[in-house]
Amino acid sequence: MAKIVNSWNDWDPLKRVIVGRCDNSMIPPEEPATSEKVPVDSEMRGMWGLRPLATVERGNECLENLVKAVEDRGVVVDRPTPLQWNQAIGTPDFRNDSMMTCMPPRDILLTIGNEIMASANSFRCRYFEYLAYWPLMKQYFDEDPEFKWTQAPRPRLTDASYKHNYYDEKITLEERLVRTANKDFVTTEVEPMWDAADVMRMGKDLFIQHGLTTNRTAMEWFQRYYPELRVHAMNFPGDPYPIHIDATFVPLRPGLIINNPHRHPAEGQLAIFEANDWEVVDAAQPAHDEPPALCYSSVWLSMNCLVLDPKTVIVEASEVHQQEQMDKLGMNVVPVDLRDAYPFGGGLHCSTADVYREGGCEDYFP
């Protein structure tokens, strides 16, 4: 029996990875947590249903580009099993008219060492998304005797989990920024809620973005679950929609992070990096002024790269400025055409989940 699951950070040499699939993807109906995610002026407001088939096929083509690029470099690729996401769902606590997709895996699965944990997402439409990964989890469980197959405590997601007056009025961008600065988010603290993509793993340290999808109770939960690790909350007051840390604060190798120039960490939160001589540089400008059609994310998916090892990084093929910056930072750049997968929830890092990277649990902040 082999060791299949092991990963402690986002830069050690990648050997095995999960890449999502766009099949049957939905634009989910509005619900307390997601209306927050859709900007008021977005073409997607009030719209829901199956995504157009041509866009699904094109998104899948892009994911195949990524699969090929990593396989060419000797990485083993696993794929989820999509469900019929247009089914209505219900639990004793809530009902929703549909699910969403199994993109991107990074939001659902968190790999820490030999453990992969399904997250405690705050969106009702994502409540059953983990099922798409269960066949893989069973396979890892059968083949790797050390693999820990875990599900984080499932949030109830009753109405008490959300602030219901949070977005009722048409609030302006400035007001949103004030709320972010005040750490006032749509989720309440009645239970731990977190998306795996809010957790940045750096060996002994977990840096977790506190924002629209992950609350403070989750940080407390993480600290008790992993007493041997150190949990740090991060806030980015410049982000009016703080969801997922991987288009904001992205490590390339030990000692080097690229940071979204509009989203610097809140006061005091850089201290630990500075004290340990880490370099935090502003990321290059995105090549595009707008995200592609029907996309939830911002143009900053430009920096949502997939590090293959401390010297090699995959960057989206059209993001020429980001590629140039990576090159100057001493990274070999592998361009992959993935932009038409952005509408399904994210870029190169989002579209994947780590299964195996070489290396162990290091202390980068002694």
| Catalytically active residues, by annotation | 195, 244, 350
Binding characters for ligand ARG, 270-299, by CB under 6 A (x = yes): ---------------------------xx-
Nearest approach in angstroms of CB 196 to ligand ARG is 8
Please report which residue ranges of 97-168 form alpha helices under DSSP H.
Answer: 134-143
Q: Is there a cis peptide before residue 251, judged by omega within 30 degrees of 0?
A: no
* Length, in residues, of the chain: 366
Q: Is 101 in the site for ligand ARG (CB under 6 A)?
A: no
Q: Minimum Å distance from CB 1 to ligand ARG?
A: 32
- Looking at residues 326 to 345 of the shown chain, list those that interact with ligand ARG (rule: CB under 6 A): 345
Instruction: Considering only residues 128 through 147, tell me which ones interact with ligand ARG, judged by CB under 6 A.
Output: none
Q: Which of residues 300, 310, 344, 348 is near ligand ARG by CB under 6 A?
A: 300
Using only the alpha carbons of the chain, give its radius of gyration. Answer: 19
Quick one: which of 104, 240, 265, 343 contacts ligand ARG (CB under 6 A)?
A: 104
Strands 312-316 and 332-336: parallel
* Contact predicate 187/99, CB 8 Å: no
Residue 240 DSSP symbol: S
Among 26, 202, 350, 355, binds ligand ARG (CB under 6 A): 350
Nearest approach, Cβ of 345 to ligand ARG (angstroms)?
Answer: 5
33 binds ligand ARG (CB under 6 A): no
Sequence-ordered list of residues with C-beta below 8 angstroms from that of 330, at least 6 positions apart, any chain: 311
* Centroid of chain to Cα 68: 22
State the minimum distance, in angstroms, from the CB of residue 212 to ligand ARG.
9
Q: Which of 351, 265, 263, 337 is nearest to 304 (CA)?
A: 351
Taking CB under 6 A as the criterion, which residues in 215-234 touch ligand ARG?
A: none
C-beta of 147 vs 300, nearer to ligand ARG: 300
CB atoms within 10 A of CB 168: 9
> Which lies closer to ligand ARG via its Cβ, residue 118 or residue 247?
247
**Are residues 118 and 133 in contact, defined by beta-carbon separation less than 8 angstroms?**
yes
Contacts of 285 (CB under 8 A, 6+ apart): 302, 321
**Judged by CB under 6 A, which of 197, 219, 336, 341 binds ligand ARG?**
197
**Using the rule CB under 6 A, is 346 a contact of ligand ARG?**
yes
Query: Residue 303's closest CA among 289, 332, 280, 323?
Result: 323
106 or 179: CB nearest ligand ARG? 106
Instruction: List Cβ neighbours of 241 (8 Å cut-off, separation of 6 or more).
Output: 36, 37, 39, 176, 212, 298
Q: Which is nearer to ligand ARG, 56 or 306 (CB)?
A: 306
Number of chain residues interacting with ligand ARG (CB under 6 A): 14
Among residues 12, 23, 31, 107, which is the contact residue for ligand ARG, using CB under 6 A? Answer: 107
- Please give the residues from 238 up to 257 whose contact with ligand ARG meets the rule CB under 6 A: 243-244, 246-247
